[in-house]
Structure 1
Amino acid sequence: MSIVETRTVKPADADQRLDRWFKQHFPALSFGHLQKLLRTGQIRVDGKRAKADYRLSAGDQIRIPPMGDMALPMKKAAPPPIRDADARLLQDAVLFRDEHVIVINKPPGLAVQGGTSIGKHLDGMLDALRFGASERPRLVHRLDKDTSGVLVLARSRLAAAALAKSFKDRTTKKTYWALVIGVPSPNEGEITSFMEKDGEEDERVRPGDKGQKAITEYKVIEAAGNAMSWLALRPVTGRTHQLRVHCAQLGTPIVSDGKYGGEDAFRDGVSAKLHLHARHIAIPHPVRGMIDVTAPLPPHMRETWSLFEFDPNMKQDVFDDD
């Protein structure tokens, strides 16, 4: 672009920082150069100087000076095509959908995002969940690769911001179901610890006297003698592997969680897949009311529940404020 241009902020870009708007529309523009253009008044909003953290409103007029090659979008590698079977798997996993939000029942074994040695992941297949929308859905939070259950996706930037705020402000209520080795004592309570990475590439964390504070509420729903028990878990905070670490701290590691329970977490006759499931979520809708979704158990946990004659249709929330 070799001339001065004025662009009008669209409603979908409202409440976005000015520097992030430029990153979206001019990805080749460095932050340092952007700061210089702002400092010298070459970029203006509604005719006035603005700072990088200025929050845009729909209808704002942004003055854009000549950008040259920086106006050209950066080339990105084309994502691999989505297999029809994978697309159907994700579409069949949808539990809730409207024009703002999608909630899916994530299968166990599917990574949410890419990383070392991770070829297939949800983030790379989100185009399968467009359902005709102009934007691909956006991840709002994560689940471990081996954890199944409710996962919330936003269908616009504004919805993503509202949902992320609900997680940050802890107005979102999440309940997980887990099968653990043994029975915790007492049968219900709250566990608090600090968690820090232990330096391994697999994201393993450990409790310690520093790091991020992690809080989990737990309650025994039913026990199979003293051998195993079915827990409801509510994470008050959302740290990496928090529930897995806290169950191990209680002396009752989650069944088949070799990372935190070692060989003692496995039992003959019970699936070797992790028995941790994001069962229920209640989260404020970005526009109206609440989203309240329950995810059915994955096949390997249904088999285990049947083995111990646990009732998977019982009320999903067992905490006092539900």
Structure 2
Amino acid sequence: MTGEPWPDLAILWEDDRYLAIDKPNGLFVHRSNLDARERIAALQAVRRLAGGRVHAVHRLDRGTSGVLLFARDREAARALSEQFVARTVQKTYLALVRGHPPEQGELDYPLVPSEGAEPVAAVTAWRTLANGALAVPVGRYDQAWCALVALFPHTGRRHQLRRHLSHLRHPIIGDTSYGDGRNNRAFREALDVQRLMLYARRIAFTHPFNNDHIVIDMNPDATLDHVCAHFGWPAPSDDVLADSAR
């Protein structure tokens, strides 16, 4: 189709109706006018991988990596999309953020989806998993405080997690739209963080056709592993990845 190499995609889980991949950072879910140079998107790559037509049932930002679900037919897509609309799908994200947030909390802060539109409801819960400090001066501070947080979006607005964390004054490291350029630079130079540090870590849902409880986890990438090793943070356990508010 193009001269570009196809992305190397890992299938995390699949059956005869669905499959989930570990979407890499930098890959659009659909082809986008945001970058005309990008000719390959996850949808086309998964169709090639699956050997047939598939349908994306939700989206991830280009900069976000992690669990991305596809349906193998329209009936399956419609059935699972209804669960996303009903907000019964449990989504857990991991993010590296600026500062030391409170141990846990929930932000109910409406977001404007587009210029001129009315604000829509947006709710995000979080749990702080670990705190750290990078020994690099940033602005008037002698070090860059940071934290690893688990995020539980109860709604699915565009850029919701990035905008909510920015509103909380704990923007995601590597976020060039809503983040802090000085902190981004500090982590880029000290730990080679070249990406948005936001990961779709887990998705859990009830299978529409057999009622099985499906839990799908992503594989941590080298950047997240490197950051956690630098600060001595252990891998998050299953209990902290579950949204206690759901």
TM range (shorter): 0.7 to 0.9
| RMSD after superposition | 2.2
| Counterpart-to-counterpart distance in 2, 1:124 and 1:156 | 15
The aligned length equals 227
User: Alpha carbons of 1:97 and 1:189: their partners in 2 closer, same or farther (altered >3 Å)?
Assistant: same
1:205-224: CA deviation from partner (whole Å, max 9, x where unpaired): xxx99421110001101111
Q: Is the 8 A contact 1:129 1:137 kept in 2?
A: no
| Counterpart-to-counterpart distance in 1, 2:61 and 2:236 | 24
| Counterpart-to-counterpart distance in 1, 2:117 and 2:224 | 34
3-state SS, counterpart of residue 111 of structure 2? strand
Q: Counterpart in 2 of 1:261?
A: 179
1:111-136: CA deviation from partner (whole Å, max 9, x where unpaired): 111112232211232322324xxx41
Determine which of 94, 97, 103 is the counterpart of 1:187. Answer: 103
Q: Counterpart in 2 of 1:284?
A: 206
Determine which of 107, 124, 132 is the counterpart of 1:216. Answer: 124
1:200-279 pair list within 5 angstroms = 210-225=118-133, 227-266=145-184, 267=186, 268-270=189-191, 271-279=193-201
3-state SS, counterpart of residue 177 of structure 2? helix
3-state SS, counterpart of residue 301 of structure 1? helix
1:104-157: CA deviation from partner (whole Å, max 9, x where unpaired): 1111111111112232211232322324xxx41110000000100001100111
Determine which of 44, 47, 51 is the counterpart of 1:127. Answer: 47
1:59-98 pair list within 5 angstroms = 80=1, 86=6, 89-90=8-9, 93-98=10-15
Unaligned runs of 5+ in 2: 134-143
The one-letter code sitting in structure 2 at the alignment partner of 1:286 is P
| Counterpart-to-counterpart distance in 2, 1:282 and 1:153 | 14
The one-letter code sitting in structure 2 at the alignment partner of 1:108 is N
| Counterpart-to-counterpart distance in 2, 1:197 and 1:265 | 27
Unaligned runs of 5+ in 1: 1-79, 200-207
Q: Residue 309 of structure 1: CA displacement?
A: 1.3
| Counterpart-to-counterpart distance in 1, 2:131 and 2:117 | 32
Q: Identity, % of aligned pairs? A: 32
Runs of 4+ in 1 over 3 A off after TM superposition: none
| Counterpart-to-counterpart distance in 2, 1:155 and 1:209 | 34
Q: Residue 311 of structure 1: CA displacement?
A: 1.4
Q: Which has the larger radius of gyration?
A: 1
Question: Do structure 1's residue 144 and structure 2's residue 66 form an aligned pair?
Answer: no
Which range is displaced more, 189-198 or 295-304? 189-198
**TM-score for the superposition, normalised by structure 2:** 0.85
Q: Residue 181 of structure 1: CA displacement?
A: 0.6
Q: Residue 306 of structure 1: CA displacement?
A: 1.2
| Counterpart-to-counterpart distance in 1, 2:3 and 2:78 | 27
Q: Is the 8 A contact 1:82 1:125 kept in 2?
A: no
Larger RCO: Structure 1 or Structure 2 (Cα < 8 Å, ≥ 6 residues apart)? 2
1:229-262: CA deviation from partner (whole Å, max 9, x where unpaired): 0100000000000000111111110011121013
User: Alpha carbons of 1:142 and 1:291: their partners in 2 closer, same or farther (altered >3 Å)?
Assistant: same
Q: Counterpart in 1 of 2:137?
A: none
Which range is displaced more, 105-114 or 312-321? 312-321
